[in-house]
Amino acid sequence: MYEIVSRRELAPNIVEMKVAAPRIASSAKPGQFLIVRTDPEGERIPLTICDYDPSQGTVTLVTQTVGLSSKKINDLQQGDSFADVAGPLGCPSDLLDLPDEKLQSMKILFVAGGVGTAPVYPQVKWLRQHGVDADVIIGAKSKNMFTYVDEMRSVGNVYLCTDDGSEGFHGMVTGLMKDLIENQGKRYDHCVVIGPMIMMKFAALATREYGIPTVVSLNALMVDGTGMCGACRVTVDGQTRFTCVEGPEFDGHKVDFDEAMRRQNMYRNNPKNNPETHKCKCHG
What is the average pLDDT across 98-127?
Answer: 94
User: For the stretch 192-205, what's the b/e string if a residue is b when 16 or more beta carbons lie within 10 angstroms of its beta carbon?
Assistant: bbbbebebbbebbe
Phi, psi of 178 (to 5 degrees): -60, -40
Confidence of residue 13 (pLDDT cuts 50, 70, 90): very high
Any long-range contacts for 149-155 (C-beta under 8 Å, 24+ apart)? 149/117, 151/121, 152/112, 152/117, 152/120, 152/121, 152/124, 155/121, 155/124, 155/125, 155/127, 155/128
Same domain, 159 and 61: no
Same domain, 126 and 76: no
Give the lowest-confidence range in 8-12, 40-44, 264-268: 264-268
* pLDDT, position 226: 67
Same domain, 28 and 129: no
* pLDDT, position 264: 73
11: nearest Cα among 171, 138, 144: 144
* pLDDT, position 259: 87
Examine residue 119 and say whether the peptide bond preceding it is cis (omega within 30 degrees of 0): no
Same domain, 163 and 194: yes
From 189, 214, 239, give the residue that closes a domain. 214
From 198, 214, 230, give the residue that closes a domain. 214
Same domain, 135 and 206: yes
Whether 251 contacts 215, CB under 8 Å: yes
Confidence of residue 43 (pLDDT cuts 50, 70, 90): confident
What is the average pLDDT across 108-118?
Answer: 93
What is the average pLDDT across 231-246?
Answer: 86
122: nearest Cα among 63, 229, 194, 21: 194
**Across all residues in the chain, what is the average pLDDT?**
89
User: Which domain CATH number covers 82?
Assistant: 2.40.30.10
User: Which domain CATH number covers 168?
Assistant: 3.40.50.80
What is the average pLDDT across 79-89?
Answer: 93
* pLDDT, position 95: 94
* pLDDT, position 66: 86
| Beta strands across the sheet bearing 214-217 | 169-170, 157-162, 135-140, 108-113, 190-194, 214-217, 249-251
* pLDDT, position 44: 86
* pLDDT, position 27: 96
Same domain, 19 and 72: yes
Instruction: Work out the angle between the directed axes of helices 257-265 and 197-210 (0-180°, nearest 10).
Output: 180
From 65, 89, 113, give the residue that closes a domain. 89
Residues 6+ apart with CB under 8 A from 21: 2, 34, 57, 58, 59, 85
Total number of domains constituting the chain:
3
Look up the domain containing 19 and give its range: 2-89
**CA 138 to centroid of chain Cα atoms:** 12
* pLDDT, position 261: 86
For 142-190, how does the pLDDT look when each residue is reduced to its tens digit (9 = 90+)?
Answer: 999 999 999 999 999 999 999 999 999 999 999 999 999 999 999 999 9
Same domain, 99 and 205: yes
* pLDDT, position 275: 43
For 58-82, how does the pLDDT look when each residue is reduced to its tens digit (9 = 90+)?
Answer: 999 999 998 888 899 999 999 999 9
Same domain, 31 and 126: no
* pLDDT, position 23: 95
Same domain, 284 and 226: yes
Same domain, 110 and 204: yes
Same domain, 63 and 14: yes
Confidence of residue 242 (pLDDT cuts 50, 70, 90): confident
What is the average pLDDT across 189-201?
Answer: 95
* pLDDT, position 274: 47
Residue 277 scores a pLDDT above 60: no
* pLDDT, position 280: 33
- Consecutive H or E run containing 158: strand 157-162
Same domain, 48 and 143: no
